[in-house]
Chain A
């Protein structure tokens, strides 16, 4: 009797878990490499989508470990939004591990004007160079608008019934992105100093968008920590060019920044390159936060 009851309970538990694991029909699930792409997808998808991001803003988007739990989440998605340009090669392992035959991969770098495309031979003697160019394009809100249109087309293909909604929300997003760019470009013009160092070449698109000049990077080569000689050169450059600002990500060591502050009065400003939440509005709000942080530095 008890055995039969136990078997029935076990069968019910398995059935419940199988039903619970079945994809929800109502919302289209979208996975994204970063919270920025997830936020853009949330803006474009509206109530029709459910988004999920893998890389967290406080960790390096170049280096993400392919956890089985990510594969499980991607197994339930219909779209996977990749940054592309070689930044998130790790996503391939997650996509393969997801075992999801219905997944469509969307490279959100499509249509973006890529900066810092290497010319000539590229090899590891130049550090961790991206052979297709700088992949941090989302740090220009105008590129966010391009990505939004790419996402809208992918959503429209996956869910034709709501295509018009996706496209109109992408256009609304593009207008907001333009307004964000104009507003923050004006703020950048008013900055007391518009020359800066960055730790990594993550901020090239931001500088390009808002008229800032990156004098040098703390890394002598991409992905290579600074040497004492290179830091000494940065001190000389800071004094010669009046650089008072270092923009760096929270996952890089802070000792180089402290050294530059002590030796040349360069103030480190720690900002994430990704927005705080994978929700609508967070991506564009991030530009206001970055410019606000730069405004807070007084030479």
Chain B
């Protein structure tokens, strides 16, 4: 509740009092995304019944802070909770060699999907492979510092290298305490694995964008991140990834967007060895990826399809796959849009067990945005 009041106070302070002060106030956008969903997942309490949900509401503030820096704050309201989803500043100019520095809490630039907010993608749920392999619950979102550098090439290609140092908390994987009396977690369920101790994580990304004609382009990216998932056991998580995004304009108001990512996870899983009286590390190595294509035309309509497959770490690396179809209608760009998507998920089987029944999900979302139009970034 205290956080709700803090956010409300921030909103009151930042909301423009009158037009005379508009020059000094930040741009403010409010984005709502209520939805109705349906699933036949036997594990869901709402199986085969529609669920109406107000979804997450985002309040976004951004403004130039001075000639060199820009600030962004995104407050998220969901399930009666309020929180700072992102809050960072970027030093855009003034550092040597055109280096840009970003500091604060932000969606980490690992791949092309993770930095995007849910209302920016044409389907309701993020891909299972990203949820299973990347740190963080709803996204890989951390507090840290990012430095990026664009290589000075003689062409109009953009090749950017970036490196982040993060707090690393989102890498923690809670461990179930064993029955062993000497298990530190049995003795101290809260602090036994020293999960609250900071351990820095790092991220690296190299991305290359090549224009195709006047408006189209292709971007390739390579990503790596490593952090500590159990401090006491010194267990680490390493994720490597590659991504591609191509946007090809087929007419003045029509384009095809194709995006895909391949992600590989190499994770130490800590357990407690009662006999030796110390931690033991088992390893999980798996990989997977997604691909989707989205055709947009007449500024209002879009249809597309997605597919993904990955080795699920929660069921011993057995393969999970999914296929989806989606469509959307935008009344006037991002101000009001309706999106429907259907997904058929083939869950991973337990080792040696039979294949589970496929799960179907259907989601209809309305997305509305109040505030100034923002530039569309590639």
Contact = CB atoms under 8 A, between A and B. Distances in A.
Interface of A: 17-18, 20-22, 56, 58-60, 63-69, 71-73, 75, 89-94, 96, 99-101, 124, 127-128, 223-225, 250-251, 253
A223 B70 CA distance: 29
A101 B300 CA distance: 38
A251 B251 CA distance: 9
A17 B153 contact: yes
A138 B94 CA distance: 34
A96 B217 contact: no
Contacts of A94: 375
A205 to B, nearest CB: 22
A250 B375 contact: no
A21 B156 CA distance: 10
A283 B153 CA distance: 32
Nearest to A102: B93
Contact of A75 (B150, B155, B375): B150
**Among all A-B residue pairs, the 7 with the closest Cβ atoms:** A68-B158, A20-B154, A21-B152, A93-B375, A251-B252, A90-B375, A69-B211
Main secondary structure of the interface of A (DSSP, over half): loop
B154 A99 contact: no
B3 interface: no
A290 B74 CA distance: 46
A74 to B, nearest CB: 10
Given A21-B154, A71-B158, A75-B98, A93 B377 contact: yes
B158 A72 contact: yes
A139 to B, nearest CB: 19
B47 interface: no
10 contacts: A20-B154, A21-B153, A65-B375, A66-B377, A67-B217, A92-B375, A99-B93, A99-B98, A101-B94, A124-B335
Nearest to A94: B375
A234 to B, nearest CB: 20
Interface string B148-184: 0011111111101000000000000000000000000
Contacts of B70: 96
B152 A56 contact: no
B125 interface: no
Contacts of B66: none
A4 to B, nearest CB: 24
Contacts of A223: 332-333
A67 B298 contact: no
Main secondary structure of the interface of B (DSSP, over half): loop
Contacts of B219: 68
Interface residues of B, number: 42
Contacts of A100: 93, 98
Given A21-B154, A66-B375, A69-B157, 9 more contacts: A67-B211, A68-B217, A69-B210, A72-B155, A75-B150, A92-B375, A99-B93, A223-B332, A253-B253
Given A18-B152, A99-B93, A251-B252, A68 B209 contact: yes
Nearest to A14: B151
Given A75-B98, A90-B375, A99 B92 contact: yes
B353 interface: no
B137 interface: no
A22 to B, nearest CB: 8
A106 B150 CA distance: 25
A56 B214 contact: yes
B100 A99 contact: yes
Given A65-B215, A69-B157, A90-B376, A224 B332 contact: yes
A124 B94 CA distance: 37
B335 A17 contact: no
In this complex, the member of A65, A101, A251 whose beta carbon has the largest number of chain B beta carbons within 10 angstroms is A65
A181 B372 CA distance: 36
Interface in B233-259: 247, 252-253
B52 interface: no
A67 B215 contact: yes
Contacts of B99: 99
A101 B209 CA distance: 22
Contact of A65 (B93, B335, B378): B378
Contacts of A65: 215, 247, 375-378
B373 interface: yes
B154 A101 contact: no
Contacts of A224: 332
A89 B375 contact: yes
B371 to A, nearest CB: 9
B45 to A, nearest CB: 39
A31 to B, nearest CB: 12
Interface string B16-55: 0000000000000000000000000000000000000000
Contacts of B156: 69, 72-73
B217 A69 contact: yes
B378 A72 contact: no
Contacts of A128: 332, 373
A263 B298 CA distance: 23
Contacts of B253: 60, 251, 253
In this complex, the member of A64, A68, A250 whose beta carbon has the largest number of chain B beta carbons within 10 angstroms is A68
A161 to B, nearest CB: 26
Contacts of A73: 156
Nearest to B151: A17
Nearest to B300: A225
Contacts of B211: 67, 69
Given A69-B156, A99-B100, A59 B215 contact: yes
Interface string B84-109: 00000000111000111000000000
A96 B89 CA distance: 13
Nearest to B253: A251
Contacts of A91: 375
Interface string B194-224: 0000000000000001110011010100000
A56 B252 CA distance: 10
